[in-house]
Amino acid sequence: MRFGHAGDDTAPLRLRSCPAALSILPVSLLHAIAIFAAGVFAGTINTVVGSGTLLTFPVLLGFGYAPVIANVSNTVGLVPGSASGAVGYRHELAGQGRRMAPLMCASFTGAVIGAVLLLSLPASAFKAIVPAFIALALVLIVLQPRLTLILERRRGHRGRIDRAGPLATLGVLIGGIYGGYFGAAQGIMVLAILSLSIDDDLQRLNAVKVVLAGLANLVSGLVFIFAAHVAWAPAALIAGGSVLGGALGARVGRRLSPAVLRAVIVVIGTAAIVKLVA
């Protein structure tokens, strides 16, 4: 069964395909299980590390969805998982409201800009840009252990800073734009920005990252629901899986082997690049 969608790649997304057709596409039991499982893993990885999109996006590509439609549906589907992860991190989030307020505004604004760019640029631009985005995300994932060490050493050589300054807020804004447009490894980017600019426990900063990346997903997802064509069957399956994965990520994700997670993401991300380029 092929789930591809015909359309003019030079046309903006809002002008492509038929919304009704995208809503009623049949999903076989095997495909449904695969998409749900990808949602579980993505929800877990988004909470623990970030970059769960590199699991769900290639799965939708593999089942024949056009890249932009796959990205839109994936973004909508991952929103509940972010909420689940944030609830799981509620203890780490306690007392961070004032710190988070300007960062949330920056992430919100960036996500709107990114979503508008996705809807405004031709689909061919997405196909050309996203392989580079995925490659950058994979590099960040591979370098994450070394990056974490550098960040910890940097924090050890400076005075305590409790709030994010203008540069950090700008970085979160750029991360929000990236998240609204595509979003793979946005969490890693945001966590790096927070770690460089705020002196606090890494788990508390990771909790903030979950909220900021989830907010970007929520905002762009809402834009897509009202202005784009969502493939609702896979979006719903990813949503159900990501809720379970988000809860698992907050509870037991710290016990998972980071090396195994990175290896899985790199393999699947590489397959996505090959799929898009080919």
Total structural domains within the chain:
1
Within-domain flag for 9:
no
- Residue 28: per-residue pLDDT: 84
Q: 72 and 211 in contact (C-beta within 8 Å)?
A: no
135 inside domain = yes
- 31 vs 192 pLDDT, higher one: 31
Residue 5 scores a pLDDT above 60: no
What pLDDT sits at residue 36?
95
What is the domain extent for residue 119?
Answer: 15-277
Q: Is residue 116 part of a domain?
A: yes
Res. 226: pLDDT tops 70: yes
pTM higher than 0.85: no
Residue 103 lies in a domain: yes
Structure token digits, residue 269: 């991300």
**Cα gap 64→175, rounded to integer Å:** 28
Residue 45's alpha-carbon distances to 104, 144, 216, in angstroms, are 21, 14, 17
Instruction: Answer for the pair 241, 36: CB distance below 8 angstroms, yes or no.
Output: yes
User: Is residue 263 pLDDT above 80, yes or no?
Assistant: no
Residue 115 lies in a domain: yes
Q: What is residue 173's predicted lDDT score, i.e. its pLDDT?
A: 95
How far is Cα 163 from Cα 7, in angstroms, rounded to an integer?
47
**Residues 223-240: what's their mean pLDDT?**
92
Instruction: Determine the distance from the C-alpha atom of residue 161 to the mean position of all C-alpha atoms in its chain, rounded to a whole number.
Output: 27
Asked whether residue 187 is assigned to any structural domain, the reply reads yes
pLDDT in tens, 119-177: 998 888 888 888 888 888 778 777 777 876 776 676 665 555 667 778 889 989 999 99
**Which one is predicted more confidently, 266 or 210?**
210
Least confident span in 26-35, 100-109, 153-162? 153-162
Does residue 210 surpass a pLDDT of 80? yes
What is the Cα–Cα distance from 91 to 93, expressed in whole angstroms? 5
90 lies in a domain?
yes
